Amino acid sequence: MKQNIKAILAPMSPKERIAYIWDYYKFHIIGTIVAIILLLSLISSIGEKKEVVLNMTIIGQGVNPEGVVQLQEQLTNKLVQDKDDEEVSVQHLTYNKTSMDEASRAGIQKMSAEISLGAIDVMIVEKELFEEISSQNALLALNEFKGANKLLPSDEKVYGISASDIELLAPLALDENEMLCVPSTTKNLQKINEFFTFISK
C-alpha cells in the first residue's frame, strides 16, 4: 500500500524533504517549469505580433536575404502609418522546380495554402510558375491598379511584370526570369495600389 506523502516527509529535516521531493518528482517539476516558460513566451509573442498591412511573398531561389529585410523595412516605412502595431511582411519561400526537394515542396504548399486563404497580396515568382498560375485565372490584371500604370507597356491587360525592371527590388538580386504579380484572392486592393504607386516612382 502506498504511503501518504505527509507521513513520509514528517520525520525528515527540511533539507532531507527537499532532497526527497527532488529525487521523486524532478521530472514533474522540470516539466511544469518548461510548460510555464513556453506559455509565457507564447503569450508575450502574441502580444508583440504586429498586424500585417501588406504581405509580399517571393517564391524561388537565389534571393538575397539581406535584400528581403531591406525591402521589408522600406515598404513598412512608406506604406505603414502606425509602425508600433503594423508592418509590411516580405517572406521568401524556397522553390526549385528542377529538384523539387523537401524545401521546394514545402514552399509551394505554403504558397498554395496562403493564396487560397487570400493571405498573399503581391508575389514574385519564376516565369514558368507565373504562367502556370496565370493559366488558372488566379491573377488580377495589374491595369486595375492606378499605381501600376507607369510600369505597364500598354493598355492591354497585363498580369505580371518583370521584377528585375523595378529599381526598389534591386537589393533582392533577382534575375529577368522573376515576375511580379497579384493573386486574385487578395482583398487588400487599396494597399496594393499604394505599393504600385510607391515602386513606380
Mean pLDDT of 175-181: 88
Burial of 137 (0-12, 13-18, 19+ CB in 10 A): exposed
Mean pLDDT of 56-69: 87
Of 72, 74, 51, 52, which Cα lies nearest the Cα of 63?
A: 72
Mean pLDDT of 171-193: 89
* 175 close to 164: Cβ distance less than 8 angstroms: yes
For 31-56, write each residue's pLDDT tens digit.
888 888 888 877 766 656 778 889 99
Q: What's the pLDDT score for residue 1?
A: 44
For 7-35, write each residue's pLDDT tens digit.
777 788 888 888 888 887 888 888 888 88
For 163-173, write each residue's pLDDT tens digit.
888 888 888 88
User: If residue 114 lies in a helix (H) or strand (E), which one and from where to where?
Assistant: helix 102-116
Domains of the chain: 5-47 (no CATH), 50-199 (3.40.190.10)
C-alpha cell at 27: 521530472
Q: Looking at the predicted structure, is the pLDDT value of residue 196 above 80? A: yes
Q: What's the pLDDT score for residue 140?
A: 94
Q: What's the pLDDT score for residue 65?
A: 87
Unique residue bearing C-alpha cell 514552399: 107
Q: What's the pLDDT score for residue 44?
A: 66
**Rounded CA separation 19/118 (Å):** 56
Alpha-carbon Rg of the chain, whole angstroms?
Answer: 26
In percent, how much of the chain has pLDDT > 70? 94
Unique residue bearing C-alpha cell 536575404: 65
